[in-house]
Amino acid sequence: LDISGRLVSELSSKSGYQGLNEVSLDMSNLSNGTYYILVESNGKRAIKSIVVSK
């Protein structure tokens, strides 16, 4: 999500394993700015901000 809440990229739903899971994101097409990563699992959500600066 960008700063205005617009979806800029979406990964397909993947079934992960219980515990720690890792996903790589290609951010080469994103402009400089603040973005938010939204992760949903088992009815819970986590949102983290990231800053892209090239």
Give the per-residue pLDDT at 14.
Answer: 65
Q: Residue 3 and residue 35: Cα distance in Å, rounded?
A: 6
What does the pLDDT look like over 23-44, one tens digit per residue?
788 888 889 999 998 888 888 8
Q: Would the pLDDT of 52 be above 90?
A: yes
Q: Residue 35 and residue 32: Cα distance in Å, rounded?
A: 9
Give the per-residue pLDDT at 15.
Answer: 65
Dihedral sign, Cα of residue 23, residue 27, residue 47, residue 6: negative
Q: Residue 42 and residue 32: Cα distance in Å, rounded?
A: 32
Query: Are the CB atoms for 16 and 41 separated by under 8 Å?
Result: yes
Q: Where are the domains of the chain?
A: 1-54
